[in-house]
């Protein structure tokens, strides 16, 4: 088991009004089997013992499914590995003496709360606008009355796996939320259950996405590259298709 | 304190329907006059909030996460059970009920479990209508798999992400009502106290986790859906922020805590690798469908697994349980893993692991079939351990996973404090001493979609609730007590970090209140917990201040509660002189390690009341007897 | 339900409009390049082609205005996306890098705004030079008097500034199209992963062909091609 020393350059910001700045830390005895967030836990233990403010960052399940964590590491959302959330990134991907720069996801729609923690409620408001199928509790028909071709169901599932971490926004040069919005639209619109509300949903969600201050999509596809569950930009194509169908 | 489970009379099959017939209704006009607070927005909370809002109530939801979509329900992998009998393999509501009550080792209420099985089918209908993409057959109909030792295929699944998809369905239903204005959603708010006015739950105190502000909220009913308390062990498969604070504070306000010692230890998790480890990762137990569990027969055999010949491998589950083999229930699998590692047969650097081997399955079905079934789990394993499970067996070990215990509730899911309802993992109700696989999602959604919305109406229609506002003394007292505790924690300014304390507490619990317990161990655990708690209040170091975002302060306040809860768990385990489900007392087992249940003396729900005598924690045990009218209590046998 | 106008002002609508106008511009460019190839044809091929276009009269003007509109819309949306992007991320990353893999970030895609603006300025300049520039008259084989565009072109590209300036801008055009062609397909809802990969490659090949096709002409002329036939003084 090899241990290494890691140099960290971490964004510190007291609140949304604070301009923020970088602070540098040297962390010895980093174990290669540690997850990236465990490495930050160890840093915080050290800072607390030195009577310094620990670094705040969002995390919860640490299994790559809740979407809480979203750090931009050396300029890449969720770090260097594809299809990996930062909580599933391990220090064996780094070497002794490496310098790691950690920043929060940066977007006007994701204001900083503290340090690396940002407010992503804009995503919830996009879902509120139409990211659901309106079926009241109790109103559902027998489940097998609605057969769904397996391929359709699987395709919808691919989009439904979005964990809402916001890496797509963080990595997009334009801070666009097209992949997030497109994924939910595609998931629901592809299913027969979601089809009655398809037009209304698409228009409302696209409108809300814009109102939240996310930028335009320029087809960089960087979002797909950083997505921890690998959602394809074909979700965005589906959104555009359904939007045009709704409007014309 | 009187614990009346209020189980409706009549035949088992008709109890719930009869109850629904008798339930009082709130008129549509009056519904909008009622405020209901839902704390926690996982499966149970989000589904309850959405359903209540659809009925017309004003709902306020609170969550410690930044969005309801992040609740830990999202991490459930395997699936959700329902008695649809789509596979024509003889399943029925009765069989699902029977398996669940038997799986729980006869420590749950017949009526509750039967209702759960009845609701299971509605849940699937509801989820499909919401667009939850369950696995399907090529004909477009829903697929099922056999899961967690069930002998029928009744588990509906969405790849390895069933919890995620069901939660997103409930979350989306909830967001729809946020948009309509019937739900006001307050994320990043932590409930720190329950406000009880004249013996009735009338509101909560929260801390705004962004600003640190202590806030008061009034309501006609409070629904607690804050999940389980597995994190008391420090290392568990629970998400890092899952905690017991909301339920514990309710307990301290008078809500009885039932069966605290019933903790499920899941057999297939990735073993601990070092001290820095912050959590344990579950590998879906569906892996046991094809993987074979073994250890070397020889103690301290350090050869790499592929060099150990067949006759020197001990397939202990297959040998001991020929009919169920590797598919024995979770408690049995976990206990046996502990037995073999205690015998020094464990593998890996720490010796605290057993092999889960896919060699034979790959030989039989081909690598592609195995990849299609478990590819994402194998990738996850490789990512964490840096070992390729296609070539070398996985190393697994049990880890704390789910808590069957929780706040005591009656048939209506109301605690002994009128107006305080508890749903999902936070209540104790349906799983007895052991939960079967794919039943947690089912229970959370059954409570939230199909029980709470009716029973809360019954309560509101039948209760005279005087107007109370947040200027009431009870609110002030609770708010002061909540902020007082935070100030007290910050004032200690000791030398030991929160994590150091928590890790120590977790070790005591794992060693002595974990997979197996003994009188001696439990007594010493209680002593050690008390000592550690004392040290905590004198020597903990909590950084920062209370008036801004401060995760370590949140953590410290949760840990303070864990110390008290841990002691109660040990007390409960000590009191229960039998082995049942996940609770194995060393003194009560046969020679070959099988549990000995004592139905004569222990067929009851232990409900602990917190009594505050001059600020000292004193506990009082109440017993709700469990009566079995419809099933015969049998010794479980998976041989 | 938004009106058509409102729909085209939304993010999705804007992108689709960018795609449509982008396609139209690509068609125009192909058409233009084919026209330009007349310079390699019979001595009066280019002038007669130019004359042929002028014969359309008002229709030509109609096409010109249409083309201008397409161009303005395309540029306008592009610039507004660029402006919005700055608003959407007021604080930039100190370190930023692409994750590679399926990402289409690269010199071509990241410089769309820059290459686009250069092309915008270039087009004004280009139209001024060749549409409104001083042109003599020439006589076609059948005796028709026409604008002598060919001599203007040949003259213009004797100037190294023009010849190499054009070459440089055509490289930028190639860069713009390298991402642009695939992007237009994507904006117009191309979904299939397989088709997308194919079109990405085709897009780059097409961009290279178009850029080389265009930049070949000034270089060819500058280095002496086409002069003898036109009886003008060459480098």
Confidence band (pLDDT; 50, 70, 90) for A191? very high
How far from chain centre, in Å, is Cα C167?
Answer: 13
C-alpha C15: how far from chain center: 19
Q: Strand, coil or helix: what is B77?
A: coil
Which pLDDT score, from 0 to 100, does residue B635 have? 81
- Segment C138-164 shows an average pLDDT of 90
Residue C182: domain span: 4-89+110-230
Domain total of chain C: 1
Q: From CA B185, how far away is CA B179, in angstroms rounded?
A: 10
- H/E run at residue B554: helix B551-575
Give CATH for domain B473-625. 1.20.58.100
pLDDT of B259 reads 98
- Rounded to the nearest angstrom, the minimum Cα separation between A40 and chain C is 19
Q: What is the dihedral of CA B72, B77, B80, B86, to 10 degrees?
A: 160
pTM: 0.96
Provide, as residue numbers in chain C, all residues whose Cβ is less than 8 Å from the Cβ of A218: 81, 109, 112, 183
Chains B+C touching (3+ CB pairs under 8 Å): no
DSSP for residue B495: S
**Tokens (6 digits) for A155:** 């395709």
pLDDT for position B617: 67
Chain C residues whose beta carbon lies within 8 Å of the beta carbon of residue A231: none
Residue with tokens 């860069």: C175
To the nearest whole Å, the CA of A62 is away from the closest chain C CA by: 22
Interhelix angle C160-187/C193-222, nearest 10 degrees: 170
Taking an 8 Å cut-off on Cβ atoms, the answer to whether C95 and A239 are in contact is no
Q: Which CATH number fits domain A121-247: 3.40.30.10, 1.10.1060.10, 3.40.50.1820, 3.40.50.970?
A: 1.10.1060.10
Burial tier of B318 (Cβ tally within 10 Å: 0-12, 13-18, 19+): middle
The pLDDT tens digits of the residues spanning B471-529 come to 999 999 999 999 999 999 999 999 999 999 999 999 999 999 999 999 999 999 999 99
pLDDT score for C228: 59
C13: in domain? yes
* Interface touch B131/A156, C-beta < 8 Å: yes
Q: Which of B107, B330, B517, B597 is catalytic?
A: B330
Domain presence at residue C161: yes
Size of interface A-B (CB pairs under 8 A): 221
Given the DSSP bridges, would you call strands B155-156 and B406-407 parallel, antiparallel or unpaired? unpaired
- For residue B489, the model assigns a pLDDT of 98
Q: Which residues pair with C197 in a beta bridge?
A: none
Mean of the per-residue pLDDT values of chain B = 95
**What whole-number distance in Å separates Cα of residue B240 and Cα of residue B600?**
39
- Do C12 and A220 make contact, defined as CB atoms within 8 angstroms? no
Q: Does C101 map to a domain?
A: no
| pLDDT value of residue C144 | 87
Starting at the edge strand that comes first in sequence, how are the strands of the sheet with B189-197 ordered? B189-197, B200-208, B214-218
Number of Cβ atoms within 10 Å of the Cβ of A52: 14
Answer positive or negative: Cα dihedral of B519, B525, B526, B527: positive
Number of Cβ atoms within 10 Å of the Cβ of B391: 12
- Stronger pLDDT, A234 or B324, i.e. the higher one: A234
Q: What is the DSSP string of A120-164?
A: -HHHHHHHHHH-S----TT-PPPGGGS---HHHHHHHHHHHT---
Does residue B294 sit in helix, strand or coil? strand
C105: nearest CB among A82, A222, A237: A222
CB contact under 8 A, C88 and A174: yes
Mean pLDDT of B40-65: 98
Calpha distance A22→A43 (Å, rounded) = 15
Chains in touch with C (≥3 Cβ pairs < 8 A)? A
Which of C1, C11, C87 is nearest residue A108 as measured by Cβ atoms?
C87
How far is A88 from B316, CA to CA, in rounded Å?
32
Hey, which residues does A176 pair with through a beta bridge? A215
| Chain B: residue whose CA lies nearest to A16 | B210
By the CB < 8 Å criterion, does A17 face chain B?
Answer: no
Distance from CA of A23 to the nearest CA of C (A): 13
- The CATH code of domain B12-263+402-461 reads 3.50.50.60
Q: In CATH, what is the architecture of B265-400?
A: Alpha-Beta Complex (3.90)
Where do you find CATH 1.10.1060.10 in chain A? 121-247
Work out whether strand B257-258 and strand B604-613 pair parallel, antiparallel, or are unpaired.
antiparallel
Q: Does the distance separating the beta carbons of A207 and C10 come in below 8 Å? A: yes
Please check the confidence at residue B273 and state whether its pLDDT lies above 70. yes
pLDDT, one tens digit per residue, over B86-100 is 999 999 999 999 999
* B323, pLDDT greater than 90: no
List CB contacts (< 8 A) between A119 and chain B: 66, 210
> How much is the average pLDDT of B578-595?
91
CATH, residue C10: 1.20.1300.10
ipTM > 0.90, yes or no: yes
Q: pLDDT band for position B78 (50/70/90)?
A: confident
Q: Which one, of B577, B505, B570, B511, lies nearest residue B536 by Cα? A: B505
Q: C-contacting residues of A 64-123, CB under 8 Å?
A: 72, 74-77, 80, 82, 101, 103, 106-109
Residues of chain A with CATH 3.10.20.30: 3-114
When pLDDT is cut at 50, 70 and 90, the band that residue C229 belongs to is low
Chain A residues touching residue B171 (CB < 8 angstroms): 127
What are the C-alpha distances in Å from B551 to residues B204, B416, B485, B486? 21, 32, 15, 12
Q: How far is the C-alpha of B540 from the C-alpha of B536, rounded, in Å? A: 5
Inform me whether the pLDDT recorded for B636 exceeds 80. no
pLDDT of C235 over the 70 cut: no
Checking if the pLDDT of C227 tops 70, the result is no
Structural class in CATH, domain A3-114:
alpha beta
* Statement: residue A1 has pLDDT above 80: no
User: What's the pLDDT score for residue A212?
Assistant: 98
Residues in chain A closer than 8 A to B497 (CB atoms):
45, 48-49
- Alpha-carbon span B228 to B271, nearest angstrom: 22
Task: Give the mean pLDDT of chain A.
Answer: 97
* Residue among A1, A114, A143 whose CB faces B549 most closely: A114
| Measured distance CA(A103)–CA(B66) in Å, rounded | 19
CA atoms within 13 A on the CB side of C103: 24
Instruction: Search chain B and give the residue with CA nearest A45.
Output: B497
A138 lies within 8 A of chain B by CB: yes
All partners of chain A with 3 or more CB pairs under 8 angstroms: B, C
Report which of B561, B544, B550 is spatially closest to residue B502, judged by C-alpha positions. B561
Tokens in use for C88? 């959407």
Contacts of C193 in chain A (CB under 8 A): 232, 234
Verify whether the Cβ–Cβ distance C93 to A108 is below 8 Å.
no
Interface touch A237/C13, C-beta < 8 Å: no
Residue A174: band (very low, low, confident or very high) from pLDDT cuts 50, 70, 90? very high
CA distances from B497 to B466, B482, B492 (A): 46, 22, 11
Q: Taking CB atoms and an 8 Å limit, are C16 and A244 in contact across chains?
A: yes
Residues 166-195 of A with CB under 8 A from B: 187-188, 191, 193-194
What pLDDT sits at residue B373? 83
> What is the average pLDDT across B336-359?
93
Distance CA B266, CA B263 (A): 10
Q: Does A40 touch chain B (CB under 8 A)?
A: no
Distances (CA, A) of B89 to A57, B122, B418: 49, 20, 43
B330 as an active site residue: the answer is yes
Percentage of chain B beyond pLDDT 70 is 100
pLDDT at B638 over 80: no
Q: Domain residues of chain B, as ranges?
A: 12-263+402-461, 265-400, 473-625
Q: Indicate contact of C with A: 3+ CB pairs under 8 A.
A: yes
Residue B22: both structure tokens together: 């008798």
Set of chain B residues whose Cβ sits within 8 Å of the Cβ of A68? 65-66, 70
**Quick count: other Cβ atoms within 10 Å of Cβ B442?**
28
pLDDT tens, A62-97?
Answer: 999 999 999 999 999 999 999 999 999 999 999 999
Distance CA B46, CA A124 (A): 14
- What integer pLDDT is reported at residue A248 of this predicted model? 84
Domain contains C130: yes
Fold match between B265-400 and B473-625? no
Q: In what order do the strands lie in the sheet with A3-12?
A: A21-31, A3-12, A99-103, A72-73, A76-77
Residue with the larger pLDDT of the pair C150 and B314: B314
Q: Centre a 10 Å sphere on the Cβ of residue C40 and count the other Cβ atoms it contains.
A: 13
DSSP one-letter code for B447: I
Query: Residue B330: pLDDT band by 50, 70, 90 thresholds?
Result: confident
Interchain contact, A237 vs C191, CB within 8 Å: yes
Lowest mean pLDDT among B61-70, B316-325, B468-477, B523-532: B316-325
Judge whether residue B425 has pLDDT over 90: yes
pLDDT band at C167 (very low <50, low <70, confident <90, very high): very high
Residue for token pair 């010692």:
B261
Q: A35 in contact with B at a CB cutoff of 8 Å? A: yes
Best probe of the C interface among A18, A172, A216, by most C CBs < 10 A, is A216
């Amino acid at each position: 088991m090899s241990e290494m020393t890691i140099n960290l350059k971490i964004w510190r910001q007291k609140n949304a009004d604070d301009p923020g700045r970088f602070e540098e830390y040297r962390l010895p005895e980093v174990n290669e089997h540690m997850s990236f967030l465990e490495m930050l836990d160890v840093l915080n233990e050290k800072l607390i013992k030195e009577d310094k403010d620990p670094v705040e960052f969002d995390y919860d399940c640490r299994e790559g499914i809740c979407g809480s964590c979203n750090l931009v590491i050396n300029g890449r959302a969720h770090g260097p590995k594809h299809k990996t959330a930062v909580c599933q990134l391990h220090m064996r991907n780094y070497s002794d003496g490496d310098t790691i720069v950690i920043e929060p996801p940066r977007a006007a729609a994701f204001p900083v709360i503290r340090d690396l923690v940002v407010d992503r409620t804009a995503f919830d408001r996009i879902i509120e606008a139409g990211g659901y199928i309106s079926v009241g509790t109790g109103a559902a028909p027998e489940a097998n009355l609605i057969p769904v071709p397996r391929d359709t169901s699987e395709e919808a599932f691919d989009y439904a796996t979005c964990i809402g971490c916001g890496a797509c926004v963080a990595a997009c040069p334009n801070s666009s939320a097209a992949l997030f919005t497109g994924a939910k639209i595609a998931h629901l619109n592809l299913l027969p259950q979601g089809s009655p509300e398809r037009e209304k949903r698409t228009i409302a969600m696209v409108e809300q996405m814009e109102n939240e201050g996310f930028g335009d999509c320029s087809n960089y596809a960087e979002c797909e590259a950083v997505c921890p569950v690998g959602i394809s930009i074909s979700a965005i194509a589906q959104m555009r298709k359904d939007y045009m169908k709704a409007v014309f | 304190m009187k614990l009346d489970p209020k189980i409706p009379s009549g035949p088992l099959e008709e109890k719930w329907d009869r109850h629904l017939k008798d339930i009082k209704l709130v008129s549509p006009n009056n519904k909008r006059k009622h405020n209901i607070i839902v704390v926690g927005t996982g499966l149970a909370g989000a589904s309850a909030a959405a359903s209540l809002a659809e009925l017309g109530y004003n709902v306020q939801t609170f969550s410690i996460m930044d969005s309801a979509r992040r609740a830990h329900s999202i991490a459930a992998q395997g699936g959700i059970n329902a008695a649809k009998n789509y596979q024509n393999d003889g399943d029925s509501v009765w069989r699902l009920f029977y398996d669940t009550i038997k799986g729980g080792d006869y420590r749950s209420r017949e009526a509750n479990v039967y209702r759960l099985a009845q609701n299971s089918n509605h849940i699937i209908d509801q989820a499909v209508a919401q667009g939850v993409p369950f696995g399907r057959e090529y004909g477009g109909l829903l697929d099922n798999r056999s899961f967690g030792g069930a002998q029928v295929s009744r588990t509906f699944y969405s790849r390895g992400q069933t919890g995620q998809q069901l939660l997103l369905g409930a979350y989306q239903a909830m967001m729809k009502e946020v948009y309509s204005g019937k739900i006001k959603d307050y994320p990043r708010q932590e409930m720190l106290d329950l406000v009880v006015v004249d013996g009735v739950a009338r509101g909560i105190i929260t801390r705004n986790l962004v600003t640190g502000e202590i806030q008061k909220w009034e309501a006609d009913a409070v629904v607690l859906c804050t999940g389980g308390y597995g994190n008391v062990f420090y290392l568990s498969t629970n998400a890092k922020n899952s905690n017991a604070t909301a339920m514990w504070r309710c307990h301290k306000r008078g809500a009885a805590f039932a069966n605290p010692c019933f903790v499920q230890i899941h057999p297939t998790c990735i073993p601990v690798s070092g001290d820095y480890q912050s959590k344990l990762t579950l590998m879906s137990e569906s892996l046991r469908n094809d993987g074979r569990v073994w250890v070397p027969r020889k103690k301290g055999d350090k050869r790499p697994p592929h060099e150990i010949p067949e006759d020197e491998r001990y397939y202990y589950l297959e040998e001991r349980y020929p009919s169920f083999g590797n598919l024995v229930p979770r408690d049995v699998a976990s206990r046996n893993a502990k037995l073999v590692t205690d015998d020094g047969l464990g593998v890996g650097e720490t010796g605290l692991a057993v092999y889960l081997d896919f060699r034979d399955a790959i030989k039989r079905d081909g690598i592609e079939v195995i990849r299609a079934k478990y590819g994402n789990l194998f990738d996850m394993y490789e990512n964490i351990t840096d070992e390729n499970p296609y070539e070398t067996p996985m190393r697994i070990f049990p880890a704390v996973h789910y808590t069957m215990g929780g706040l005591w509730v009656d048939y209506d899911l109301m605690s002994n404090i009128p107006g305080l309802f508890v749903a999902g993992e936070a209540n104790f109700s349906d799983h007895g001493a052991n939960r079967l696989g794919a039943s947690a999602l089912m229970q959370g959604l059954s409570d939230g979609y199909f029980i709470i919305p009716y029973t809360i109406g019954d309560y509101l229609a039948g209760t005279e609730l005087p107007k109370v506002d947040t200027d009431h003394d009870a609110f002030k007292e609770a708010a002061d007590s909540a902020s007082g505790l935070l100030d007290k924690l910050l004032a200690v300014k000791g030398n030991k970090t929160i994590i150091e304390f928590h890790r120590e507490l977790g070790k005591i619990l794992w060693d002595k209140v974990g997979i197996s317990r003994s009188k001696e161990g439990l007594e010493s655990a209680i002593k050690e917990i008390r000592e550690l708690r004392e040290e905590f209040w004198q020597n903990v170091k909590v950084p920062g201040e209370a008036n801004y975002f401060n995760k370590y302060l949140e953590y410290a306040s949760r840990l303070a509660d864990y110390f008290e809860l841990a002691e109660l768990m040990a007390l409960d385990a000590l009191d229960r002189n039998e082995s049942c489900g996940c609770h194995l007392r060393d003194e009560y087992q046969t020679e070959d390690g099988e549990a000995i249940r004592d139905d004569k003396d222990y067929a009851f729900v232990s409900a602990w009341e917190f009594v505050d005598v001059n600020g000292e924690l004193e506990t009082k045990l109440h017993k709700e007897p469990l009566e079995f009218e419809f099933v015969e209590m049998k010794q479980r046998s998976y041989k | 339900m938004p009106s058509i106008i409102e729909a085209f002002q939304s993010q999705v609508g804007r992108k689709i409009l960018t795609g449509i106008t982008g396609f139209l511009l690509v068609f125009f460019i192909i058409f233009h390049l084919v026209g330009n190839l007349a310079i390699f044809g019979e001595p009066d091929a280019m002038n007669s082609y130019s004359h042929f276009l002028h014969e359309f009269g008002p229709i030509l003007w109609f096409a010109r205005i249409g083309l201008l509109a397409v161009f303005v819309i395309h540029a306008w949306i592009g610039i507004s996306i660029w402006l919005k992007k700055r608003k959407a991320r007021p604080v930039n990353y100190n370190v930023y890098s692409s994750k590679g893999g399926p990402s289409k970030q690269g010199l071509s895609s990241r410089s769309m705004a820059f290459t686009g603006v250069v092309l915008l300025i270039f087009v004004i300049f280009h139209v001024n030079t060749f549409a409104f520039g001083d042109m003599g008259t020439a006589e076609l084989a059948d005796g028709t008097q026409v604008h002598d565009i060919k001599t203007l072109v040949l003259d213009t590209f004797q100037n190294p500034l023009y010849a190499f300036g054009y070459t440089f801008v055509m490289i930028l055009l190639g860069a713009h199209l390298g991402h642009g062609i695939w992007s237009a397909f994507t904006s117009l809802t191309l979904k299939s992963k397989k088709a997308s990969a194919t079109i990405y490659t085709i897009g780059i090949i097409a961009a290279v062909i178009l850029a080389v096709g265009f930049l070949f002409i000034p270089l060819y002329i500058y280095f002496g091609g086409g002069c003898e036939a036109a009886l003008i003084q060459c480098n």
